Structure 1
Amino acid sequence: MAELKFKPVRHSHKEFLAKAATRKGFVEAYDALALEYQVAGQMLKARSRAGLTQDAVAERMGTTKSAVSRLESAGKHAPSLATLKRYAQAVGCELQVKLVRQRAA
């Protein structure tokens, strides 16, 4: 199994969001997908910490790079818990899910 190290491309997410927020409807659409973006962000950070490419994760999961790309794309695909668990294991993590009581309004 090939272990590939990579260096992430430097990107300022804050700058990207600030620019995108000026577009009509962006804030509402972004807020509607907040949980999906949070999960995708955690996946990308975990893969980056593991020093793995999408190809390497795909190999560990027994799937394709394009499938991993879809998993890491917020809002385009809703992965099952089993798939998230396999992804977590592939990047050296464990999946934890919890329900948190909503705050009273």
Structure 2
Amino acid sequence: MADLKYKPVPHNHAEFLASASKRPDFAEEYDSLQLEYALAGQMLEARAKAGMTQDAVAERMGTTKSAISRLEAAGRHAPSLATLKKYAAAVGCDLQVKLVPHKAT
């Protein structure tokens, strides 16, 4: 079994957004990927809470670290529900999906 010791890399999201928001069209592109970023954030949080590395998750899922890296990268590709279920199980979580009606305007 892989070493399950996990040391998160420090990341200041507020600083990242402040810097990135200076780029042209950043806000529009960022907003269009809101759901993907939210999912990626939840995945990273779940993996951190489980104290797992990408290698450890990959081993539990029967895949490679690079596949986990791509899976956790928002906006790069759209994983299947089956893959998300495997990821959730690997980090000790259940996957929940729900449809939310649009807000009336």
TM band (smaller chain): over 0.9
Alignment correspondent of 2:85 = 85
Q: 2:104 & 2:30 partners in 1: Cα distance?
A: 23
RMSD: 0.8
Matches within 5 A, 1:87-102: 87-102=87-102
- Structure 1: segments with no counterpart, 5+ residues: none
| Residues in 2 aligned to 1:57 and 1:3: alpha-carbon distance in whole angstroms | 11
C-alpha distance in 2 between matches for 1:38 and 1:28:
16
Q: Return the offset for 1:18.
A: 1.2
Aligned amino acid, residue 56 of structure 1:
A
Secondary structure at 1:8's aligned position in 2? Answer: coil
Alpha-carbon offset, residue 2 of structure 1: 2.4
Alignment of 1:10-89 (within 5 A): 10-89=10-89
For 1:89, give the aligned amino acid. A
* Counterpart Cα distance in 2 of 1:3 and 1:100: 39
1:6 CA drift (Å): 1.4
Partners of 2:27 and 2:65 in 1: CA distance: 30
1:27-53 C-alpha deviation (Å, 9 max, x unpaired):
000001110000000000000000000
CA distance in 1, matches of 2:98, 2:6: 32
Secondary structure in 2 matching 1:68: helix
Segments of 4+ moved more than 2 angstroms = none
State the shift of 1:72 in Å.
0.2
**3-state SS of 1:70 partner:** helix
**Equivalent residue pairs, number:** 105
d(CA) in 1 for partners of 2:101, 2:3: 41
CA distances 1:2-26 after superposition (whole Å, capped 9, x unpaired): 2421110111101101110111011
Sequence identity percentage: 71
Determine if contact 2:2/2:55 at 8 Å carries over to the other structure: no
